Structure 1
Amino acid sequence: MIKIAFASKDGKLVNEHFGWCEKFYIYTLDEESYELISEVDSSKVYEAEVDKLEYKIECIDASDILYVTKIGPKAANMVKIAGTYPLKSSSEDEKIEDVLQSLQKLMKNSPPLWLKRILLK
């Protein structure tokens, strides 16, 4: 079972930048099913960039994967150091449900190395 945080404005599409995201939708996923386990308010504002990024990382609640529209290089590095694998959506109208189903297919068939590492945790 892996945990994925989606940056979304509406809970349906992956349509938010990591640093600007005001709500993360956290799902659990395995080869057979997925479930929304929480909606996390991440709207607190910080002046310092590092403080803001650390807060956003706390909000994704130790997820294995972070799925966003955009993420800066510094933020992506901090997310990786925290043990979460950042992924960018292919477009702003990519459906969360489609992403989850696509990840399930990858898990069942031939997971890429980054996904194998997450599954072996």
Structure 2
Amino acid sequence: MDTLGCVADAQIDDACLLVAFASMDGDMVDQHFGSAQAFYLYAISSDAANLLASQSFGVEKKDGNEDKLKPKLAWLAGADIVYCGSIGGSATRQLLALGVHPLKVKGGPDVKELIEELQLQLNGDKEAWLEKLLQRKSRASDEDRFAAMDDEGWDG
């Protein structure tokens, strides 16, 4: 497992989603976003899931202090999805502005079960939010590819 400056530093296949889980130990989603002590980052495709990195943060109070969000948001930049036990409106808006889709899950679900549920959707009928995310990711990938061709002087 690597140490990443931020999620965007992860080198992954375009077919993978970068998914972070707010978790104390990496086994279950048991943390509020703003006071999360750690995030575990996976590269998830329709048939594989690989733990890429984890990032620890200090113990934070659930006090509405927005400054504690900054290091978490900075590290999560580049993620596709973040699962958390709960999340406030401001953090939700800031994640969405970064292109990260926050998902609130109740009852401390097991990370492996959430990965399996996501893979089932990737292999079959996708919920609307996931379909939109995949379309956005595909468009961004196409734009990157065309920009690279343009930089190389590709002229068809």
Q: TM-score, normalised by structure 2?
A: 0.71
Give distance in 2, aligned partners of 1:44 and 1:90: 21
Contact 2:45–2:119 (8 Å) recurs in 1: yes
Give distance in 2, aligned partners of 1:44 and 1:8: 13
Aligned-residue offset at 1:50: 3.2
Aligned pair count reads 119
Residue aligning to 1:110:
125
Could you tell me which runs of 5 or more consecutive residues in structure 2 were left unpaired when the two chains were aligned. Answer: 1-15, 138-156
Give distance in 1, aligned partners of 2:110 and 2:77: 21
- 1:58 matched to 2:71? The reply is no
SS in 2 for 1:36: strand
Q: Which runs of 4+ in 1 moved over 3 A?
A: none
Aligned-residue offset at 1:44: 7.8
- 1:98 matched to 2:98? The reply is no
Residue aligning to 1:43:
58
Residue aligning to 1:12:
27
Aligned-residue offset at 1:114: 1.3
Aligned-residue offset at 1:54: 2.1
Name the structure, 1 or 2, with higher relative contact order (CA <8 Å, separation 6+): 1
Greater fraction strand:
1
Give distance in 2, aligned partners of 1:14 and 1:44: 16
Residue aligning to 1:30:
45
In angstroms, what is the RMSD of aligned CA positions? 1.8
What is the letter of the counterpart of residue 25 of structure 2? D
Give distance in 1, aligned partners of 2:110 and 2:40: 13
Q: Which has the larger radius of gyration?
A: 2
Give distance in 1, aligned partners of 2:74 and 2:123: 30
Deviations 1:57-84 (A, max 9, x none): 1122421001000101111111111110
